[in-house]
Amino acid sequence: DADVTQTPRNRITKTGKRIMLECSQTKGHDRMYWYRQDPGLGLRLIYYSFDVKDINKGEISDGYSVSRQAQAKFSLSLESAIPNQTALYFCATSDYTSGAYKGTQYFGPGTRLTVL
Amino acid sequence: QQQVKQSPQSLIVQKGGISIINCAYENTAFDYFPWYQQFPGKGPALLIAIRPDVSEKKEGRFTISFNKSAKQFSLHIMDSQPGDSATYFCAASYSFASGGSYIPTFGRGTSLIVHP
């Protein structure tokens, strides 16, 4: 979905390095999420934010941190990357205020992260 | 704890055949059951969804069948086409009224390949 953008799209880094993945959205949605996708494990929630002042841990937050810089921007950081954080990372948004179902997730194109 | 169990993990179907993906859930508070479709290199996107007050929902070649008593729901793809080759995720969520937050719990995904 072009309304949710992620940068970078691909990243190779080394163990111990700090890395930031960025997400921006033009959908005007208040809620933003970070997911991790691994083969056979599906989509697992890392962190979510219901508004700029609200940050919540998801299922697998250890080793990650986030920052909600504005309604439209939500970044994910790996303070000290390790190989088992190699995965596909997705940012998503949802709209709590519209008539559509409030839980529908709108995903970005993903960032493929490789930690050597 | 896996609240939404999805099977099979992979599925190969011939063109024109029927693809069937099954999901089972545990939390009876779930009140919304979407399916997401993910093409390679893309983020998941909402395909079709159902609420528990109906037993079936059809949109084109895609049908969700829902069995509330068995806590199971399934996606049927009729006349499967090579363009349907993708990963499919089932999910379940529930609203604030039921103590939830609308955030979906995803199944682990099914990789569907439709041979020409």
Average pLDDT for A91-103: 77
All residues of chain B having their beta carbon less than 8 Å from the beta carbon of residue A38 are: none
Average pLDDT for B16-44: 95
Long-range contacts from A22-25, C-beta under 8 angstroms, 24+ separation: A22/A73, A22/A75, A23/A73, A23/A74, A23/A75, A23/A76, A23/A91, A23/A108, A24/A72, A24/A73, A25/A72, A25/A73, A25/A91, A25/A93, A25/A106, A25/A108
The answer to whether the CB atoms of B32 and A33 lie below 8 A apart is no
Instruction: Identify the residue whose tokens are 């960025």.
Output: A22
Q: What is the least distance, in Å, from the CA of A86 to any CA of chain B?
A: 16
pLDDT for B23: 98
The answer to whether the CB atoms of A96 and B102 lie below 8 A apart is yes
What percent of chain B clears pLDDT 90, i.e. is strictly above it? 79
The answer to whether the CB atoms of B42 and A92 lie below 8 A apart is no
CB burial of residue A80 (10 Å; 0-12, 13-18, 19+):
exposed
Rg (CA), chain B: 14
pLDDT for B42: 95
All residues of chain B having their beta carbon less than 8 Å from the beta carbon of residue A96 are: 102
Confidence of residue B10 (pLDDT cuts 50, 70, 90): very high
What percent of chain A clears pLDDT 90, i.e. is strictly above it? 84
Candidates B2, B4, B37, B106: best to mutate against A (most CBs of A within 10 A) is B106
| B residues 20-79 lying closer than 8 A (beta carbon) to A | 32, 34, 36, 41-46, 49
Cis omega before residue B8 (within 30°)?
yes
Measured CA angle at A67 (ends A63, A69), to 5 deg: 165
Residue B84 backbone phi and psi in degrees, to 5: -85, -10
- Whether the pLDDT of residue B99 is over 70: the answer is no
Nearest C-alpha in A relative to B44: A107
pLDDT for B97: 64
Contacts of A2 (CB under 8 A, 6+ apart): none
pLDDT for A98: 60
Average pLDDT for A78-83: 96
Confidence of residue B1 (pLDDT cuts 50, 70, 90): low
The answer to whether the CB atoms of A1 and B45 lie below 8 A apart is yes
Nearest C-alpha in B relative to A96: B102
Phi-psi region of B108 (alpha: psi -120 to 50; beta: other; left: phi over 0): alpha
A9-37 per-position pLDDT tens digit:
999 999 999 999 999 999 999 999 999 99
Partners of B64 in the β-ladder: B57, B75
Maximum C-alpha span of chain A: 45
